[in-house]
Structure 1
Amino acid sequence: MGFHMVKPKISTMNDLSKAIGVSRPTLARYFEDEKAVLPSTARKIKDGLAKVDYVYNFLATRQNRKSTGLIGVVVPHFEDLFYASLLESIEAAASAAGFTMITQSSHGDPFSQEQAMRKLRSMSVDGAIVAPLAAQGHHEIFLAAGADFPIVFVDARPPQPLSGSDFIGTRNTQSIGIMVDYLCRTGPPPVFLAMPLLNSNALERREAYVQQMHQRGLPEQIMDVPGDASSWQFERYGFEVMDAHLAQGRYVDATILCANDRIAIGAIRAANMHGLFARGTGVGSQLRIAGHDDHPLSRYIFPALTTVAQQVAGLAGDAVGTLLKRIEHGQDGKPIVLLRDGVLKLRESA
């Protein structure tokens, strides 16, 4: 029968310094960056830490510093794989620059977004990257936070312009434009299935679609949707809207351009339920469905989704790079707007 030695608990860095025989400033440098001390010293510290119960207090060591080394990030939902990919890329870029990312979810709710921003203010982050909601009336929290630290908005714009803030996103006029162009060249002009008005992309992509249709001398066709649609459950929304129309025999041979891939995934599910994409038979309707975003699951559904890819790693790198410049040089100067083009991804659905 084995026995486990209980390690002595140490609460302060001063006590740790005495216990393992290394000065407190050297310990501080080690915890900041292991490579900042000699290899022999790093080994001595590692061996000493293995013999004691000590947890480095990251936040406490930064309370009296000008910089906390923290970057706050707020997204609408962690479960949305687009935002999960964006967070992963932001974390990699922030870590490479020596910063630690603190993530918050607004849960698609304006009150939660406000609480998330208040929490970042309480933690004295050096700056924040925010994918904002479209809700009006919460401009004040961004104003207050912007007085404490620089904010870079990513993916979607805030409901009202914020002085001194920057925006990183996808050029919706271009990304929707290349999709409309492709769909018009290869079949009937697309009907647009819009997304609920939950962020600025909802309006921008709809307007981009209308503009592209008018440029081709074609009438816009906006699919009827429930007037109270306001859920972030985009797959269910896409399924229910498409199912209702298909049940009435509408759009069975149409080309449908969905405002995002999650809506398109739901729409394809409805089409499959109605037998419009016949597996392996070569028989089926002329229905085509396309999306936007290149959601990680879009290539694995049936049929695989034709879409426009956003440059997620590029967006994250632009957002972190822009924020670090603001942290270093201040918030004066003209707001920075960096827009990346989308990339067409052709698959079986259209």
Structure 2
Amino acid sequence: MEKTTPPDGKKPQIATMEALSVAIGVSRPTLSRYFQDPASVSRSSVDRIREGLERVEYVPNFFATRMNRKSTGMIGVIIPYLNDLFFTRLLEAIEIAAMEAGFTVISQCSHSDPAIEARAVETFMSMNVDGALVVPLGNQSDLDACKRLNARLPLVLVDSRPKPLSELDFIGTDHVQSTGLMTEYLCRVGAPPVFLAMPRVNFNAVERENAYLSKMHELGHAPMVIGTDSLNEDGHFEAHGQVVLAEQFARGALVDATILAVNDRVALGALRAAWQYGLQPGALRHGGLRIAGHDDFPLCDYTTPRITTVSQNVDAIGRAAVARLTDRIRAENKADGQIVQLFDGVLKVRESA
């Protein structure tokens, strides 16, 4: 077939598959089979279609080409926040693993709102995604919505596990190991740590607080937990850490203590409070104020001082979550026993502690 180029160099734009079939001289059903699976079309038809596509501007409608397929090739992902770089890293790991497995990721953010989280669940069901990975908000999550989703399609919980949904597959970090690792380190090189918590609405936060208490008792130290009550209105982790420690520093308390923050974002707020009161965390390894966190937030290596923390294996969590979901999809969601896969954290020692 001779190739021709329009005088102005621009290819004609084709909007529909019907118009494309006329433009390149191939039937509509043949085109549909080609876009679903080129191997299902004869070699001569494949050559004719590819030559025709070089002469026009046409992008197949993603949803239209999947309407009659058993699989849409899509998986849904719900994350709780867009302003948290941890979830950005997790979504990146999931997307890369999904692409390697031949799936397209449709992501939704619940924006700390259970109503939006529930709407995202309904959206995925209406789109007939092949499966879903959900990172729950916390106690405020619409757990009934997750149950409805699980009844309709393969579902794997990632990073955070609500106890009412503990029977579902879960991929995340072993917080008993990771928090215990940090607690033990801090006790070994200085004063036993005070745990800078957050209001108990986050499943991971509660697990880490309990892991701290257990490890402190195991080591023979008296635990001390602060920050379980909300002292700031905006609810951001950084602001919470700053307000809680500023209140302590203002009355001369904990100025030479070891602080283990529930996560790195709370630790960032704690560093800000220390700066406000002229304190230098980590200046003296065996004395003076020390501040540590959890997660290895991407900014931890660029603060002053750099934050000592525990790194979660985000890449492995993302890969494992996608692998488990694709196994469930290929098995048509037939029950084969619950999977709970937990990854160890790795200590990252820096200047702050």
So what's the TM-score if we normalise by structure 1?
0.89
Match of 2:306 among 304, 307, 317: 304
Matches of 1:136 and 1:169, distance apart in 2: 20
Give the secondary structure class of the aligned counterpart of 1:298: helix
For the pair 1:204 / 2:207, whether they are aligned, the reply is: yes
Distance 1:187 1:146 in 2: 47
Deviation (angstroms), 1:195: 2.5
The change in CA–CA distance for 1:268 and 1:136 in structure 2 (over 3 A counts) is closer
Partner of 1:317: 319
Pick from 344, 349, 352: which aligns with 1:349? 352
C-alpha distance in structure 1 between counterparts of 2:182 and 2:43, whole Å:
55
CA deviation map 1:211-264 (0-9, x unaligned):
000001111110145346686511111111112211221111000000100110
Aligned to 1:74: 78
* Contact 2:197–2:227 (Cα < 8 Å) also in 1: no
| Shift of residue 112, structure 1, vs aligned partner | 1.1
Consecutive unaligned residues in structure 2, runs of 5 or more: 1-6
Change (3 A) 1:39 1:274: farther
**SS class of match (1:324):** helix
Give the fraction of aligned pairs with identical amino acids, expressed as a percent: 49
SS, match of residue 300 in structure 2: coil
Q: For residues 291 and 54 of structure 2, what CA distance do their matches in structure 1 show?
A: 57
Q: Post-superposition shift, 1:202?
A: 1.2
The alignment yields a C-alpha RMSD, in angstroms, of: 3.0
* 1:245 and 2:248 matched: yes
Superposition pairs for residues 1-350 of structure 1, below 5 Å? 8-21=12-25, 27-28=31-32, 31=35, 48-49=52-53, 51-135=55-139, 138-161=142-165, 163=167, 165-227=168-230, 233-277=236-280, 286-329=288-331, 330-350=333-353
Give the letter for the 2:209 counterpart: R
Q: Is the 8 A contact 1:196 1:231 kept in 2?
A: no
| Alignment-mate amino acid for residue 314 of structure 2 | V
CA drift of 1:7 comes to 5.2
Deviations 1:323-350 (A, max 9, x none): 1111111241321000000000010000
Deviation at 1:130, TM superposition (A): 0.4
In 2, the alpha carbon distance for the partners of 1:229 and 1:135 equals: 19
Q: Distance in 2 between matches of 1:289 and 1:36?
A: 61
Match of 2:108, SS? strand
Residue 212 of structure 2 aligns with an amino acid whose one-letter code is Y
Q: Deviations over 1:285-321 (max 9, x none)?
A: 8110000000000110100000000000000011000
Structure 1's unaligned 5+ residue stretches are: none
